[in-house]
Structure 1
Amino acid sequence: MEIATNTVVGITFELKVSKDEEAIESVPFSVEVRDQEDPFYFLFGNSGLPEKFEAEIAGKKVGETFSFVLLVTEAYGEAQEDLIMSMPKNQFSNENGFEPEMLEEGNFLPLMDENGYPMQAKVLKDLGEEVLLDFNHPLVGFDLHFEGEIFEVREASPEEIEHGHIHGAHGVDHDND
């Protein structure tokens, strides 16, 4: 089966990132590896991944490999200043499920948007009563170098298509909601 819209895709890969800095030769460095013990699964056509990523693997079958680079403009773009904001520290209390060490600079806070979808923010600075957070995607400003293999391709179920995500062992388990 070929990768196409409404197929569930499992891939193994190594992701390296680089920045095109003037006067500095940027060597890609590894930031994520997903192997056969922990493949990455998604619903093709509704993955939330950059469009160019899906275009690069469309039509591939199990066992085929891929190797490509997404430039910043094809990936997550440049950082947006309006996504960097300070918020009162008291919003991140123990009652709300946060531990004090979670607010240390460089940590990523697990959050939810107004629709209940998971998101994250990077802690940039402790400002005393407030904390400066960056809501940009962690990979903004980077060229993304992907190298991997197609691990699994199957037809998505009608429920997966309707819900817009995969179910079961590699996706959402609605029985535990």
Structure 2
Amino acid sequence: MKITENAVVGLTYELKVSKVEDDIESVPFSVEVRDEEDPFYFLFGQSGLPEKFEELLAGKKEGDDFNFSLTTEEAYGEPDDELLITLPKEQFSKERGFTEEMIKEGEFLPLMDENGYSMQAKVLKDLGENLLLDFNHPLVGFDLHFEGSVIEVREATEDELSHGHVHGEHGEHEEG
């Protein structure tokens, strides 16, 4: 089966990122490896990943290798200054499940939006009573370089299609 809309896709890959500054591209460095022990599964067409990522995988089948790059514009774009937000440090108390270690500069805070969806923010600066947080995607401003293999392609179940994500062994409703 080939990768098409609403297929469940399993991948192994290495993701490297690079950045262009002053017209010079940095050497790509590895930021994520998903191997056979921890493959990446998603519902094609509903992944929330950059469109170009899915476009470049379309039509591939189990056993196919891939190697492609996404420019910053094709990936997560440039940083948005409106996503730099100052919040009172008291919102990140021990009672709410936060530790001193978690609110240090450079750390990523696991948060939820008003609809209960997971999100994260990077602590940019401790301003005393406040924290300056960056809600931009962690890969914003980078070119992405993917190299990997398609390890599984299957039809999504009705449940997966109606919920918009993968279930079962590699999905969100995994029994643990």
Instruction: State the TM-score, normalized to the length of structure 1.
Output: 0.96
What is the distance in 2 between the residues matched to 1:95 and 1:5?
43
Equivalent residues of 2:18, 2:25 under 8 A apart = no
Partner of 1:57: 57
TM superposition shift of 1:25: 4.4
Give the C-alpha shift of residue 24 in structure 1: 3.8
1:109-132 per-residue CA deviation (whole Å, 9 max, x = no partner) reads 000111111000000010000001
In the alignment, what sits opposite 1:168? 168
Bigger mean CA offset, 82-91 vs 17-26: 17-26
| Partner deviation per Cα, 1:13-60 (whole Å, 9 max, x = no partner) | 000000111264411111111111110000000000000000000010
Matched, 1:92 2:92: yes
Aligned residues: 176
Equivalence map 1:1-177=2 (5 Å): 1-22=1-22, 24-173=24-173
| Consecutive aligned runs of 4 or more in structure 1 exceeding 6 Å deviation | none
Normalised TM-score (structure 2) = 0.97
CA distance in 2, matches of 1:5, 1:94: 44
- Percent identity, aligned pairs only, is 68
Q: Provide the rounded CA distance (Å) in 2 between the counterparts of 1:15 and 1:174.
A: 25
Paired residue secondary structure (1:73): coil
Q: How far 1:174 sits from its partner (Å)? A: 7.7
Return 165-174 or 133-142, whichever deviates more: 165-174
The answer on whether the counterparts of 2:12 and 2:34 sit within 8 Å (CA) in structure 1 is: yes
Deviations 1:33-90 (A, max 9, x none): 1111110000000000000000000010010000111000000000000000110011
Tell me the distance in 1 between the aligned counterparts of 2:55 and 2:88.
41
Separation in 2, partners of 1:169, 1:112: 25
* Contact 2:71–2:142, Cα closer than 8 Å, also in 1: yes
SS in structure 1 of the partner of residue 128 of structure 2: coil
Change (3 A) 1:154 1:23: closer
**C-alpha separation in 1, matches of 2:25 and 2:112:** 38
